[in-house]
Chain A
Amino acid sequence: MNLNKERMSARTVSHLKKGEKGIIKSFTDRAMSLKLLEMGCLPGCEVRLDAIAPFGDPICINVGGHYSLSLRLNEAAVIELE
């Protein structure tokens, strides 16, 4: 129960403000985490929110300074930050 609560309130990429940075800690969704790992979003990697599309979704994040990745808010919510 406790664990669940903690999970609910964990900060994720979807909570980032424009220009704000975070470091990836873990993922909460199996299938999504596979895709994200292949795309280079690894635990320990720094991400920064670069742009928010009109209507607030999807967002664009910079992954480790290497490249820009666009994902939906529900996809971003899978990436927990430290």
Chain B
Amino acid sequence: MKQGNIKVALVGNPNAGKSTLFNALTGMRQKTGNFPGVTVEKKSGTFRIAATNGHDDAHVTLVDLPGTYSIYPKSKDETVVMDILANPKHPDFPDVVVIVADASNLQRNLLLFTEINDLGIPGVLALNMLDVAESMNLTVNAVQLAMQLNVPVVRINARTGDGIKGLKEAVKQVAERTEQPALQYFYEPKENEIGLINEVKEIHHLENDYVALQYVCQHDNFSFLEQPVRAKLDALIEKYGFDENNFLANETVARYEKIKPIVSRAVKSQGATEQPYWTRKLDGILLHRVWGYITFALVLLVVFQAIFAWASYPMDMIDAGTAAAIEWMKGVLPEGVLNDLITDGIMAGVGGIIIFIPQIAILFALVAILEESGYMARVMVIMDKLMRRFGLNGRSVVPLISGVACAVPAIMTTRSISSRYERLLTILVTPLMSCSARLPIYAILIAVVVPETKVLGIFNVQGLVLFGLYLLGLLGALGSAWLLSLFIPRKEPSYFMLEMPSYKLPRWGHVGFTMYESVKSFVLEAGKVIMAISIILWVLASYGPGDSMNVAEQQVVSSMNTAPQEEIDAAVASARLESSYAGQFGRLIEPVIKPLGYDWKIGIALLASFAAREVFVGTMATIYSISGDTEDVLTVKQRLIQEKNPETGGKMFTPAVCYSLLIFYVFAMMCMSTIAVVYRETHGWKWPMIQLAYLSVLAYVSAFVVYQVLS
């Protein structure tokens, strides 16, 4: 009997609603989405079950796990499930397993249930998606099921929270049982398997036949078994002539033989069972030979229009707001160094970034809608054949699309790709998808160089250019995948096989929360880095070695004494910046970036953006507000437009420079977190370094070509 602290694990088929249930129980916000393979690692949370009839409150530690169709893992993410369930010493080994089953497809969902049951871990069956089952004319008799399966069965709706209370009670009851009922195996081992099972049980001190069979079949996946132990198990397999594939096929068929009659008694159908009406209708269009691609292109176009056109109104307001705030602050604070640091350094840097909140919010909301509706799974289908040409898989679409938000979680989602080769290729090319940190850079440069006009009356040209940049990133990703596939040997076959979930209306609260979260982390995470860099940069740009800055100022003043005061001021500010630490540093790297069309000021921003790409815009804001004339406060965009090229006397940010910068940022892998996550996912420095090298070369060469051609 277990009281006080209970450990519970959520297992079930992919997309059965485990993470949604996890969130409902713990009040946390794990990522959910309407396609298989959303959760790729275990996540823990806690909740309490209130006291009932004489028992104390129970504190529950809940673990959400990746979905699996059986306890035999088919991809990297799925291995964690059995690594926990087969090892009672694992810190997450549950007292009670909650098996979340999709009631609209009960037969298949019960396969996993019977396997978990046979492992001998006390379980509760949670019937989810009953609303979907109903729309398919199915009714499920939970009492009947509970009797036949010999476990508590609870009807829930993870989305609305119905039945959660009953589920908690059932979990508590099972955990507090003084005596576990005798285990009824759904799979009885065959005669020729019994000898092997008994020997494994004896060696490993196991009590359960099925766990022993798992030692036999899966020991290579069990992190808790040492190498010599695994070798011994291999020897046993040899000794008994155990044929694993044969066993697996027989086991699965035998289980279904048991499940079928149970399901046919518990599930009744009124009329023909069919997928929900809307799912059939929508699939008719969205998976259509012709309409499939047309609708996909339209969806993407709407996304980019939204990011540019809809976001522009709040952005203009924020832009004007920060300029006004800086101006006000300049007046309020006493003049001097502190004033400059706060206004030109911090406020200019942060202001350069918060302007992008509307775009980030819209981007994340739209990706959340794609994921929640079930459309993502269809995109995987219509893109699979294309992806295969480049050595990828239809499933690579998920990391590529979520890479538009951020490459770090995107690279983690590759764990659900079963072929290691395709997974590696996907990891290597995902950073080419333009992430949200690049959006500010694109936005500001596009605003400078592309006119704000419309074509065909509806398409904003700036939006189209943005679309083009994302497309270029995608083409870069596909092209690189193809190139890399020529050098990396493919070892295992590739699979697709994907369950199509029924379409679901996105939960607007969830979409709103995703938006809020992304903005919060953008502002906090980026904000921290930007704040730090702005301050460092401001110091480096305001001070120089020895007396160099004053010397430079004297020189300018004496050489320009006839010019109007305004021009002198601007020239002085610029000369001072140039002789500061930052300026001298920029000068140092100028020869390298000169062929791309960048001067030392851009060079400083480029270097700073190695910390995080979004720092680029903030840095530009800081640099140009220090070097610009101080009379009136300008927005970053205005400053870039006004900036003169000292050599030609014309504009600094010519189309050639802007496009060269844009292309550079499309390809460059300037992100420490991405390098770190690739290191973690590939277990070594080899791949992140190869990736960094090829992306840097790609970025430099393409920016060079663009600048040389356009100028």
Give bound CA distance, A45 to B72, whole Å.
23
Contact A58 B272 (CB under 8 A): no
Residue A82, interface by CB 8 Å = no
What is the distance, in angstroms, from B70's C-beta to the closest C-beta of chain A?
5
Residue B199, interface by CB 8 Å = no
Between B253, B272, B500, the greatest number of chain A beta carbons within 10 A of the residue's beta carbon is seen for B500
Contact A65 B273 (CB under 8 A): yes
Known contacts A53-B287, A66-B108, A67-B108: A60-B381 contact under CB 8 Å: yes
A28-62: which have CB < 8 Å to B? 30-40, 42, 50-58, 60, 62
Give bound CA distance, A66 to B493, whole Å.
28
Known contacts A68-B499, A72-B496: A54-B107 contact under CB 8 Å: no
What is the distance, in angstroms, from A35's C-beta to the closest C-beta of chain B?
6
Once A and B bind, how many residue pairs between them come within 8 Å at the CB atom? 114
17 residue pairs A–B, Cβ–Cβ below 8 Å: A32-B495, A34-B252, A37-B253, A39-B499, A51-B283, A51-B284, A51-B288, A52-B287, A54-B290, A57-B384, A60-B381, A67-B499, A69-B497, A69-B499, A70-B496, A72-B497, A75-B497
Chain B residue at minimum C-beta to C-beta distance from A51: B287
Residue B45, interface by CB 8 Å = no
What is the distance, in angstroms, from A78's C-beta to the closest C-beta of chain B?
11
What is the distance, in angstroms, from B132's C-beta to the closest C-beta of chain A?
10
Give bound CA distance, A50 to B285, whole Å.
12
Residue B69, interface by CB 8 Å = yes
Give bound CA distance, A66 to B104, whole Å.
7
Between A38, A64, A70, A71, the greatest number of chain B beta carbons within 10 A of the residue's beta carbon is seen for A38
B283 in complex: contacting residue of A31, A56, A60, CB < 8 Å: A60
Known contacts A51-B284, A55-B385, A65-B272: A71-B496 contact under CB 8 Å: yes
- In the A-B complex, the 5 residue pairs with the smallest Cβ-Cβ separation, listed nearest first, are A40-B108, A68-B500, A51-B287, A65-B273, A37-B252
Contact A54 B111 (CB under 8 A): no
What is the distance, in angstroms, from A58's C-beta to the closest C-beta of chain B?
5
What is the distance, in angstroms, from B375's C-beta to the closest C-beta of chain A?
14
What is the distance, in angstroms, from A45's C-beta to the closest C-beta of chain B?
9
B504-522: which have CB < 8 Å to A? none
Apart from A31-B245, A70-B381, what are 9 other A-B pairs with CB-CB below 8 Å? Answer: A35-B74, A37-B253, A40-B107, A40-B256, A60-B381, A68-B283, A70-B380, A70-B499, A75-B497
DSSP majority for the A interface?
mixed
B385 in complex: contacting residue of A37, A58, A60, CB < 8 Å: A58
Contact B498 A69 (CB under 8 A): yes
Contact B69 A39 (CB under 8 A): yes
**B394 surroundings in chain A (CB, below 8 A):** 58
Residue B120, interface by CB 8 Å = no
Give bound CA distance, A72 to B70, whole Å.
21
Interface size on A, residues (CB 8 A): 33
Known contacts A51-B287, A53-B385, A55-B385: A39-B108 contact under CB 8 Å: yes
Chain B residue at minimum C-beta to C-beta distance from A32: B495
Chain A residue at minimum C-beta to C-beta distance from B496: A72
Residue B248, interface by CB 8 Å = yes
Give bound CA distance, A68 to B273, whole Å.
12
Give bound CA distance, A66 to B102, whole Å.
11
1/0 per residue, CB under 8 A from A, across B64-85: the answer is 0000011010100000000000
**B377 surroundings in chain A (CB, below 8 A):** 70
Contact B252 A72 (CB under 8 A): no
A53 in complex: contacting residue of B105, B107, B284, B381, CB < 8 Å: B381
Contact B245 A30 (CB under 8 A): yes
B497 in complex: contacting residue of A50, A51, A67, A70, CB < 8 Å: A70
1/0 per residue, CB under 8 A from A, across B262-280: the answer is 0000000000111100011
Known contacts A37-B252, A55-B385: A71-B104 contact under CB 8 Å: no
**B47 surroundings in chain A (CB, below 8 A):** none
Known contacts A39-B108, A40-B108: A72-B384 contact under CB 8 Å: yes
Residue B469, interface by CB 8 Å = no
Residue B382, interface by CB 8 Å = yes
A60 in complex: contacting residue of B245, B273, B289, B500, CB < 8 Å: B500
Contact B105 A57 (CB under 8 A): no
**A69 surroundings in chain B (CB, below 8 A):** 497-500
Chain A residue at minimum C-beta to C-beta distance from B386: A55
Contact B382 A66 (CB under 8 A): no
**A40 surroundings in chain B (CB, below 8 A):** 105, 107-108, 111, 256
**A68 surroundings in chain B (CB, below 8 A):** 275, 279, 283, 499-500
What is the distance, in angstroms, from A52's C-beta to the closest C-beta of chain B?
6
1/0 per residue, CB under 8 A from A, across B469-497: the answer is 00000000000000000000000010111
Give bound CA distance, A53 to B274, whole Å.
21
A38 in complex: contacting residue of B252, B274, B292, CB < 8 Å: B252
Between B279, B287, B384, the greatest number of chain A beta carbons within 10 A of the residue's beta carbon is seen for B287
Give bound CA distance, A60 to B497, whole Å.
10
Give bound CA distance, A28 to B410, whole Å.
36
Give bound CA distance, A55 to B381, whole Å.
11
Give bound CA distance, A15 to B304, whole Å.
40
1/0 per residue, CB under 8 A from A, across B380-415: the answer is 111011100000001000000000000000000000
What is the distance, in angstroms, from A76's C-beta to the closest C-beta of chain B?
10
Known contacts A37-B253, A53-B289: A66-B381 contact under CB 8 Å: no
Give bound CA distance, A31 to B283, whole Å.
29
What is the distance, in angstroms, from B139's C-beta to the closest C-beta of chain A?
15
Chain B residue at minimum C-beta to C-beta distance from A69: B499
What is the distance, in angstroms, from B197's C-beta to the closest C-beta of chain A?
21
Give bound CA distance, A62 to B279, whole Å.
12
What is the distance, in angstroms, from B126's C-beta to the closest C-beta of chain A?
19
Give bound CA distance, A56 to B382, whole Å.
10
**A42 surroundings in chain B (CB, below 8 A):** 253, 256
Residue B610, interface by CB 8 Å = no
Contact B273 A66 (CB under 8 A): yes
What is the distance, in angstroms, from A48's C-beta to the closest C-beta of chain B?
10
Contact B283 A75 (CB under 8 A): no
What is the distance, in angstroms, from A16's C-beta to the closest C-beta of chain B?
15
Contact B287 A39 (CB under 8 A): no
Chain A residue at minimum C-beta to C-beta distance from B132: A67
Give bound CA distance, A23 to B249, whole Å.
19
Give bound CA distance, A47 to B394, whole Å.
23
Chain A residue at minimum C-beta to C-beta distance from B380: A70
Residue B293, interface by CB 8 Å = yes
